[in-house]
Structure 1
Amino acid sequence: MKSAYELAMERLAASEGESKPLTDEQKGKLAAIDDKYRAKIAEREVFLNQKLAEAHRTGDRSAASDISKQLSLEKARLEEEREAEKNKVRG
């Protein structure tokens, strides 16, 4: 007898369609994409965290808030780009 978990996983696989396993080449490309975007995100964090620290030192709360929002938006944008590139490799 199958557990509820096994039945749910079967239904999920049926609704999404069976996915084929990734090749070694695809895995390498996905890892390279992750590395590339991890570096881009780190670069933006370093740059904007420096600006954020300066805004805090000067007491400019408005600028600090704007920089924090910019950092969040840029991280989200870069993560979306990363997922789009990864989906191209998977597809």
Structure 2
Amino acid sequence: MQVNVTMLTQRLFWLSLWQRNWGCGVNDLPLSLVLSWFEQKAIVILLTLLSLGVKNIVTGPTAPGFLTPDLLAVLNEKFGLRSITTVEEDMKQLLSA
């Protein structure tokens, strides 16, 4: 299923309501998210997810130019942001969430 920015924004809004009403954080939900860098909208989506405190986001296949190795290290440390690896390893991690 292809997800556009409006759909994702609506889903993130509902996640924030869930968090407020039920007292669980977005990182407590069984959610796996892989963000592909195919459009500039992906940057806005990433910033939105980070502002909501979403952790362990997987990105790929390549990082945009503005994400320097130092910035990636900080984002990895604070938010668990990481790049994709092999299909087998990524699927193992995504399905164990």
Alignment TM-score, normalising by the size of structure 2: 0.27
Name which structure has the greater RCO, CA cutoff 8 Å, separation 6+: 1
Higher strand proportion: 2
Greater radius of gyration (CA) = 1
Is the helix fraction higher in 1 or 2?
A: 1
